[in-house]
Structure 1
């Protein structure tokens, strides 16, 4: 039985290309990069907004140009060959270098459509109060804000940047810490100065404790403050934003997320009760696709949000 010849190396394949054709087709390289990250043609096609057959064609084009096989295929998933693993770091580095070079060109490239997904609370309490500053500085940016904390937007090709409250684990995405979070009780000035003002932990028993999680975070805070956890009336409000809104209107005491209540505390709409705080279970992160994270528009918006948060975060 004849011996099967070894597949040529990438080096040998590159030597066969003429100087003019030494660089493989750019679209084929983009298809390779996306497929290598998802390991399915369908997901790569979704990311690139093309059909799966178009991605498959680009992969065959690249393999033909290099003369090597880049993936092994089965019914459900793909796997990089040794040649694919050797090629991938250089392809990713090249795309990142192109994005970085474009970013260095300056504000002239801060144009185009930008789709941002952020939780309702952060959208309402931070972005909507300050986004005009960013848009005034960059009048050619067309922003669409999606108020959501659903991970479907993290993996949606139509969304450029996601701000997420969570564990920080989103596979196959660039994740950057936006802000850790501490929590502490807040209420309206009218409530603290009313006939049943709040001066001690026991005074909290006369007011609704507004919560979003069945009272788990309130229980953590009360224990950290040295209080017994019985005898408090906790009311489920759906999410932290609604709980804070209810507190603003004097309906009870909410646990303030240090990122969300900074403006309200600074402007006197809310007051903080007690010095005790506890770290939240999660933090806020900036999440985006690798291929767009260094584009001038995404990088510029990310830097603006980071600057706004770090300049205005309430102390813990």
Structure 2
């Protein structure tokens, strides 16, 4: 889908050229690696005002190095609290948890919870299943250490955006297969879940922030050396059975590359009568809420997300 400036929501149009620049920079693997290194150098370990923050390193089976995780808790709130595994976005190839501190603060303010965010391995350094293994094993670690975290151990929330939304869908898909952990609900925001890249919204996309070229590079790096056919744990759109998935919250922009795969994911969940809170925001491009949070449409998306989150905690959490 070709996107012109006049297709964009009026209050996002001022971000059109900045968004196209972001997309252009991430057309190149070297820039993804550079951005990751800069984030690690200047942001890793940075705490968030108003939250109790902690950093730990945990062992991941099959990995030579321990995994860095960030833990975020509310101040002056006693447990046990709901625990959320949050998986950040970045096309599977870049970014670190600290870059999403505003989201952690918003969730905790909406309803107190404990957030664990792994700095999972990125595809510029290690392809699938490295990131998936890191995220899945972090969830297992959360269950094993729930008491020490001050968290409820009976069930968990899994959330993430973009590639983190894809990892959310992947982790939840596996945990419903293994029954290792019970999931209260999931929040895969505008998820990157279809490596085939053949939907009308993705084909030839030139939308701001994330376009068809970004998407091709992201999947090439993530699936480098992976077996064929692609595992559903890498690309959840390939899964045959959605019947055991938990209640879901998500939203997507109408002009972004992931629009069609997100809508298809929602429709398949609803076919199995799985509760879904879903909104499509007209004229919004990828990650508009992250890059332009002060716009009216981003505020509407955030309000929908947090209100749905509060309702789902009340409805589905023990």
Is this a same-fold pair by TM over 0.5? no
Tell which structure's C-alpha radius of gyration is larger. 1
Bin the TM-score by the shorter chain. Answer: under 0.3
